[in-house]
A and B are shown apart, each in its own frame.
Chain A
């Protein structure tokens, strides 16, 4: 900036000098007032004046070019949103956003009525900043579903290209589906398997890449939220330790898109009858199908977390051409207590596998695709179309019944299969329709709870 000032200053000073040059010639005239300047002298003076003006114009053009080269730049695009960048690239502010307008419909839901509704699933302004060479920052609230919640608020200290320290609130490195951005997930809602993993938590994480990204690792300490939890603080002194290692061993060839890893958490969680620190589990239609015993009238009988909690989550994905597959298995252990009932360590498990394929030939990947030919009716192009299918299930430990969950009203297992169509109109613009059928074991007296049929629609804009 200083150099630009110098340049500009030089030109301004030089421009002012034209007046000096004119005055100079006037002085010349004055000193020779006894002898009027000859025509040749006048032409010569004018010639100098023209040359000076031409040179000043050259220097001004140079100044403008230099200023343009070294100045702050601003950009707008679907990749990075709106950004302002300093000349040296060390300071960048990016404004991005995600808006998902959904429809949620439950055909034939007479036994377990749920509301058919249009709503804003996610409405997230995203502010990201690069501050100097080593520090990055992200802030992402969500105003969707009529509530305000802070989802991401963290800073990354990028100590080296292969090592970073993250502090703040962010996704715990556990569940593969959760780690995929909400704007990139294949279905409108994540699968049953995501019920057994945390959402966002506050903590400190170390992460790094080894061998050009062939091995990625994260390790952190967090407050330790319950399954599906998204909290800004803790209710106990105990903390969770999380770790994940993910291998992408092939950088070339047909297995280039293969990734395999495992994640886990370990810690203690001690809730109370008033704040049990235990989650209920939901279908993709966001209907709670499993809950621990809890009562607002006799809270002393509520089930609460009371000791060790672990999770283990092997996971993998594979992308080749237009085909994408990802899947994971999650096993969780949580010791729970209730009133006079001896505490028990419950073991729940879940798994999911998701596949998708682009009919229009786009390359499938972990991130949302950009259509090869964006939707343009005048040009006769349609965008990209992706078909998707998924199967998932979640099993509750038998030991949970009947001491910690009511078997007549709470199923012990849910299984779901889903199909969907995604239409990518342009980079960042997507519409989708999903259908998911979920069946249950138990949960209706001695019979099974009625299946859930769920239709989701979404129009998404992200930048």
Chain B
């Protein structure tokens, strides 16, 4: 055997051996660190999920992975990533906030096709949280525009959750009998005139309502409202489920450019894939996010109230069009939100 053949054979053996073992396992015990940049109310979800994923990944590959978290208003978080926050993955409140990352070359334009269910591993909706005994008798959306009702919701300019809140109200007004854009604009305008404080994010709005005791009703993510009830006890605040609301689909994505630079593409992809597993879906459900896995959804069906849900497409098209029309500078929100007039 010539030397060149021996070398070629050796290389082939090494290549074959390499192909048989996951790359992370080949790397052995070299630890990895991921930064998950997420929106406001997902702190508890990802604290729990990160622990379980780290154990799962260690068992599978032998690699230790540490996941750091960053939380804030979804739009603000997206801006931070564009400005240089080194997110390996983003788990944000709405698709538009990841679209802008794609616009800045941080991930591919077709990011939403890279994971199942448009890259939304769980869903949620928008409901109300009211004071004990519901003293203002708030039952549905029209009660939020009554004079004398103080509404707490965050700022749609900075918060993804707030944009879902806004669109839920908009969709309600648009879809009710005789509804049209003018009436929807008038309805949402009246609602925001009842808002005394605009927090930057959903968690801040919950703090305003629950801890600071401001307002009669909090428009909230379903998971945030149910978590508040669980933590405070049913005696402090009560959940009110409106007649109709919006299907919120918070998406997730690997920030390809950053992950490539960090050498974390494989573990970042695995991290998001794990959200779709039965274990990941269980964790989401335990934190009051609606699982997309039918079996897990059935198991936890009792904790999620039945709501007539409409989609974003039903009331406003896709996220780019929605952002441009409602939340861009000079958009509908800027025109209708004129506090104090």
Contacts and interface: CB of A to CB of B under 8 A. Distances in A.
A7 B76 CA distance: 9
Given A3-B79, A19-B339, A51 B157 contact: no
Contact of A16 (B73, B79, B147, B340): B340
A31 B150 CA distance: 15
A163 B58 CA distance: 37
A2 B213 CA distance: 30
Interface string A7-33: 101100110111111011101101100
B148 interface: yes
Interface string B164-206: 0000000000000000000000000000011111111000100
B155 interface: yes
Contacts of B195: 17, 20
A165 to B, nearest CB: 21
A52 interface: yes
Interface string B65-85: 000000001011001100110
A90 interface: yes
Interface stretch (A54-62, A252-260, A357-365): A54-62
A17 B198 contact: yes
A48 interface: yes
Contacts of A30: 147
Interface string B303-341: 000000000000000000000000000000000010110
A47 to B, nearest CB: 8
Which of the four size classes fits the interface of chain A?
20 to 34
Contacts of B76: 3, 6-7
A90 B84 contact: yes
Contacts of B215: 48
A109 interface: no
A85 to B, nearest CB: 13
Given A14-B197, A16-B340, A54-B212, A48 B75 contact: no
**Interface of chain B, main secondary structure:** loop
A14 B195 CA distance: 8
B158 A10 contact: yes
A13 B212 CA distance: 19
Contact of A52 (B79, B194, B214): B214
Contacts of A56: 197
A215 interface: no
B148 A13 contact: no
Contacts of A21: 150, 196
B207 to A, nearest CB: 9
B340 A10 contact: no
Given A3-B80, A24-B196, A56-B197, A19 B155 contact: no
A29 to B, nearest CB: 9
Interface of B: 73, 75-76, 79-80, 83-84, 147-148, 150, 155, 157-158, 193-200, 204, 208, 212-215, 337, 339-340
The 10 closest A-B pairs by CB, nearest first: A19-B340, A28-B148, A27-B147, A21-B196, A20-B339, A16-B339, A6-B158, A10-B155, A17-B339, A3-B79
29 contacts: A2-B79, A3-B76, A3-B79, A3-B83, A6-B75, A6-B76, A6-B157, A6-B158, A14-B197, A14-B199, A17-B195, A18-B196, A19-B339, A20-B196, A24-B148, A24-B150, A24-B196, A31-B148, A48-B196, A48-B215, A51-B212, A51-B213, A51-B214, A52-B196, A55-B197, A59-B197, A59-B199, A59-B204, A87-B83
